[in-house]
Structure formats: C-alpha cells, structure tokens
Amino acid sequence: MGEHSAPGRRGMTGRLMIGTFLTCYFVVLCCLSANVPLERNFFPDEKGRLLLPMFLYEHGTLPTGYEESVRMSPWGFSYANYPLLLSTVIGGMLMKIAGLMTTNTHWIVFAARLVSICSGTLFALFVIAASRVLFPRPVSWLFPAVVVMLPQIIFLSLYFNNDIVALCGSSMILYAWALAMRDRWNRNNVVLLSAGIVIVALSYYNAYSWILMSIIVYLAIWSKTAGSFGRVLRDQSFWRLSALAVVIVLACIIPFFARAAVINHGDFLGLSTVRTMSERYARSEFKPSNRATPKNLGFSLPEMLVTHYYHGDGNNWLLSTFRSTIGVFGQMGVYLSSVVYLFYGCFWGIGLCSGLVGAVSLALRREYRNRVLIDGVMVANIVIVVALALQYSYATDYQAQGRYVLPAILSLTYLVVSGWKFLLDTVVRNVTVRVVVVIGLCVAACAIAIYAFGIVYLPASGVI
C-alpha cells in the first residue's frame, strides 16, 4: 500500500495543491464545454440522451420511453426505457434551476452538462485519493496523471452522458477498496462503497463488473481481517455494516428498477423493451433484425477484430477501440497525432509487461499473496468489460468505441502503474532518478492533454 496522509504543514500543503488542481480542472472543463453549442452536434449521442432531462425540465416528470418526443431517430428507441436515470434526474433538476435564471437554451443545456463536468471532477478527486493509498511516492503521482489527463476522459467530462458518471462511481469504489485493504471495513468506507455502487448501478451496464468485484473484495477483506470466513459470520460488525450497505444500495436503486418494471411490463432492465421498440419504430436498416452486425454478415469474432470492412479510414475494431480509448473527438472523426497513441501504447505495454514479470518474480519468492486479491479483481474486471463490449459490437450494434471499454480504465492503469513501479524499483536504484522519470511521464501526460484540447479540440469543435 502507499502513503498515509502526511500530518501538519506537509499535509496541508498537499491538500491545498490538490484543491487548487481540482478547482482549475473544473473551471477548464466548464470553459471547454460551455463554448460548444448543442447544434454543433460535436458530442456523440448527446442529443439523444439530452431528450430525457429536457423532457423532465419541460414537463416536470420523467419520460416513460413511449413518448415520440424522446424517441431517437433513426434508432426508434428511447433511453428512458432503461432504469439508468441518475444523470437524467440530476440533469433535469439542474436545468430547472437554470430555467429560473435564463430562457437561453444554450445555458440550460450547459446546466445538464454540469452533471458530467462535476462527475469528471469527482472522478479526478477519488483517483488522486485512491492513488495516495495504493502507491508510494513518487509512483502515486503517476496513476492520477495518466488517467485524469487522458484526453478521452476529459472529453467525456464535457457533454451529457452516462459514461463519465459511471467512471465517477468506479473511482469511489476503488478508493473504498483501497481504504479497506489498508485498514479494514468501517462505516465510512462502507458508505463510500455503497455510494459508488449506487452511482454505477444507475448509470451504465458495462460498468456493472465493479459491483460484482466489490462483492468479492468486500468478503475477501473481511475474511483476511478475521482470519477465516467462519469468524466473519460470527462478527456482529460484519452483519451491521453489511446491512447498512444493502439498505443504502437497495433504497436508492429499487425505485428506478421498480419504475422500469412497471413501465416495461416486467422488463426491469429495459433491454427487451428497447429491442422491441427499435424493431417497431426504427428505420429499416437500423432495426435489430436488419442491422449489419458482424454476426449477421457472417463474420467470426476474430474476423471482426481485424477486418477493415467497417471503417473507411482503415481502422479495425481493435485499432479504433484502442485509439478512442485514448482520445478521438467529435462523432468519432477527430483524431489526435499518432505520437499520442504511440506514447500511451508504449506506456501501457511497458507497464503490463513489467507487471507480469514482477508478479512472476513475487510468486517465485512466495511474496505474491498480498497482491493476489487486488490484481485478480483488476484482471477480471478488464476481461468482463471487454467481453461485454465485444459481444455488443458483434451481435447487437457494431460500436468500436473506447467509451464502451473505459469502465476498465482504472483497472488497466492500476496494473500498468504497478508494472512501472516494479520496473523503477528494480532497474533504477537512485531515488532522484526515479522521481525524474515519474515527473517526466506526468509532464508528458499533461502536455498531451494540453495539445489535445488546445490544438485539436478547439478548432475542431468550432470554438476558434
């Protein structure tokens, strides 16, 4: 585990620096978001998702999904049929508040975008906090730098979507894990874990692996703390804190899923209803039965990964997903320099290879036991998220977009940074040199973000 919070003046300085960074980060997100009107259609899927909070703003109630005004053309369905309405409720409330001060549609839309802006800022806060627990200095600086400054993360924080809200929830879950692994489960980190689970549960199905992994981590830490699972079952604090977590989660999510079940005639997830609506109202080529998915076209899954058939720009599924995980703006049409993709590819590749070598080295010395849990759930999380994205692209709707695999970004970065820590500890003996290398990587990540939004995003979005 990493560092504990430093006491006294050093701790105050650290908190001041983090507070200053988060304030600047929030302001920059606001500026980048506010200058792009909805009519510009620069943000993918935003118009379709904004139909829901706009309906709440105009009518004072949530849409059911059967209203034609919230149905997306040419797809024929509405996101309102899903129970994933947390961002809709908050966004609609913010739009109502904005409507008390202005009738300008641009600023009312911006009010809804504040859901993503605040989620992105909170994501940064919890990533920084988790890193300070998971890693020692100077590596604890690297983890948040390469995640928070990732261009695609920043881009998701600029417009109304569920993806960044789910990422915010996953960062809260990771921080709760880190605190519990360092100490043990207590009321504070159980409440934090529960809040993260609620946010994920009401945001994005592709991030549900964080909920599954949380159950495993929760029970494993209790067992480790007590010495055996049998002792856990006799521990009253286990039952008390577990009941607290269950009550918080169920009290928050049941109203949304119950509502979906009533509206969708028992379909509490909304999946079957969305397919039925799309089959009925979508334009012919967008109906589920007629979509040109790899499965319908007779491609195998391996062929889907490497064929260039779907992309006039020469990308295949793997390449397109890789690039848009790092940063592709607009409607998947504004790319960054190849140097950016090369930097992150090398950074991730070196980290993963070093991490594998480090894990084998620890296993041979029989010192890997303490890392089995965290490494295992991170790998499992990546596998589940990628598998869901592959299945969706192959059989439902071909979407070679990084945002479908970004729920795994914290898990990937944890493994990568763990690999870099092993590499630096093994190869670089001089502490000063380690600090210089880490600072260099952090500066590179920040420079890429400045380039991505100062040089690429602003002209492409029409701001300048």
Displacement of CA 291 from its chain's centroid (Å): 28
Statement: residue 11 has pLDDT above 80: no
Q: Residue 13 has what DSSP assignment?
A: H
Residue 229 has pLDDT above 90, yes or no: no
Banded pLDDT at 309 (limits 50, 70, 90):
low
82: pLDDT confidence band, cut at 50, 70 and 90?
Answer: very high
pLDDT given at position 408: 98
Listed range (115-119, 207-211, 269-273, 287-291) with the worst mean pLDDT: 287-291
Q: Which pLDDT score, from 0 to 100, does residue 370 have?
A: 79
pLDDT at site 313: 56
Does the structure show a pLDDT above 60 at 292? yes
**What does the pLDDT read at residue 8?**
61
- Rounded to an integer, the average pLDDT of 74-79 is 95
Task: Transcribe 26-47 into DSSP letters.
Answer: HHHHHHHHHTS-GGG--STTHH
- With a cut of 70, say whether residue 311 has pLDDT above it: no
For the chain, count helices (H), then strands (E).
Answer: 19, 2
pLDDT of residue 1: 66
pLDDT, the chain, mean? 94
Instruction: Decide if pLDDT at 4 tops 60.
Output: no
Q: What is the pLDDT of residue 6?
A: 45
How many of the other CB atoms lie within 10 Å of CB of 156? 25
Report the pLDDT value the prediction gives residue 374, as an integer from 0 to 100: 95
- Higher-pLDDT residue of 9, 301: 301
The pLDDT of residue 5 = 45
Please, what's the largest Cα pairwise distance for the chain?
67
- Which of the 8 DSSP states describes residue 265? T
Say what the pLDDT of residue 227 is: 83
Looking at residue 362, what is its pLDDT? 87
Q: What value does the mean pLDDT take over residues 95-105?
A: 96
Find the range with the poorest average confidence among 101-110, 305-314, 359-368.
Answer: 305-314
- For 419, phi and psi rounded to 5 degrees? -65, -40
More confident residue, 292 or 247: 247
Structure tokens at 76: 């024929």
For residues 258 and 137, the model is more confident at 258
pLDDT per position as a tens digit, 131-165:
999 999 999 999 999 999 999 999 999 999 999 99
The tens digit of pLDDT for each residue in 346-361 reads 999 999 999 999 999 9
Q: What's the pTM value of the predicted model, to 2 decimals?
A: 0.95
Rounded to whole angstroms, what are the CA distances from 34 to 43, 167, 401, 406, 448? Answer: 13, 22, 24, 24, 22
pLDDT bracket for residue 3 (50, 70, 90): low
CA-CA-CA-CA torsion sign (342, 344, 346, 349): negative
Per domain, the residue ranges of the chain are 8-461
Residue 7 confidence (pLDDT) above 70: no
Work out the pLDDT band at 298, boundaries 50, 70, 90: confident
Average pLDDT over residues 34-57: 96
Pick the range with the lowest mean pLDDT from 4-18, 347-361, 413-427.
4-18
**Do 187 and 72 touch, CB atoms closer than 8 A?**
no
pLDDT of 86 above 50: yes
